[in-house]
Amino acid sequence: MSESTQSAGWFEDWFGQDYLKVYPHRDEDEARQQIDFVEKSLPLNHGDSILDLGCGGGRHARSLSGRGYRVTCLDLSPVLLSLAKSQSPGDGCYLQFVRADMRRLPFRLRFDAVLSFFTTFGYFETDEENLATLLSIKNALSSNGRFLQDYMNKPYVINHLVRMDSKTGNGFEVLQERHYDMNTERIEKKITLKEGADVREYFESVRLYTLDEMERLLARAGLRLDAIYGDFEGNPFTEESPRLVMMGRRETN
């Protein structure tokens, strides 16, 4: 079996306990800072109903809920959803948890905002499947509802690609190997975790879209792009920006 075949359904296997070992630096402080920026830039209104799409362990949702928003946490991973539930605040916070595929969101005209952090896009093999995610976002938004899509910046990723790195700690070693496939326009990553004699392998495969390509996909989905940033500090987007942060709204016509 080839690596590309192995990685086709990578998102069904990867987002579990081992994923949390590889990305421990994605913490509550970072989430709070990003929500600070979203509140200033989107903007949001107190009491808005918000979908945290691909919520992971729920760090953004907890920050939003603590500020008075009504938040639905959605993820395909039962492990990450269970973690989000276990760490949810107590009384005075409004959080719901839903397991679903982002291509087929079980909502219609439901949310004032849909927020998608940390490259929860481009997972699927075809452009039409990735477009289905944006169509689901459009359908889930209320009339004139707003969205945020935090995505990789294609030129930056290609120009700064670290082909291999490793780290050790807490009794395990993580080896990450990356390459850019020019034919499929995807970043492919192999993750190897070693804990003593136990060796486990996972894959990531994400389609890289340029800003122009994303604009066309968003327009096809009925989503209007209002603002573009290169990071969560509000810097202008350029080819050297570390992120492509897109904000907009559901088309009303």
Number of residues in the chain = 253
> What pTM, to 2 d.p., does this model score?
0.91
pLDDT interval class at 4 (50, 70, 90): very low
Task: Report the pLDDT averaged over residues 16-21.
Answer: 78
pLDDT tens per residue, range 113-162: 999 999 999 999 999 999 999 999 999 999 989 999 999 999 999 999 99
CATH no. for residue 57?
A: 3.40.50.150
Q: Report if residue 161 sits inside a domain.
A: no
pLDDT tens per residue, range 161-194: 999 999 888 788 999 999 999 999 999 999 999 9
Strands (E) across the chain are located at 49-53, 70-75, 94-99, 111-116, 141-152, 164-169, 172-181, 186-195, 198-207, 223-229, 243-250
pLDDT at 170: 78
Q: Report if residue 28 sits inside a domain.
A: yes
For the cut 60, the answer to whether the pLDDT of residue 2 exceeds it is no
pLDDT at 222: 97
Is the CB of residue 217 less than 8 Å from the CB of residue 201? no
pLDDT at 158: 96
Q: Report if residue 214 sits inside a domain.
A: yes
Is the CB of residue 99 less than 8 Å from the CB of residue 76? yes
The domain total for the chain is 1
pLDDT tens per residue, range 31-88: 999 999 999 999 899 999 999 999 988 999 999 999 999 999 999 998 889 988 888 7
Q: Report if residue 168 sits inside a domain.
A: no
Task: Report the pLDDT averaged over residues 201-213.
Answer: 95
Domain of 233 in residue numbering reads as 18-152+209-250
For the cut 70, the answer to whether the pLDDT of residue 11 exceeds it is yes
Q: Which of left, alpha, beta for 144 (phi over 0: left; psi -120 to 50: alpha)?
A: left
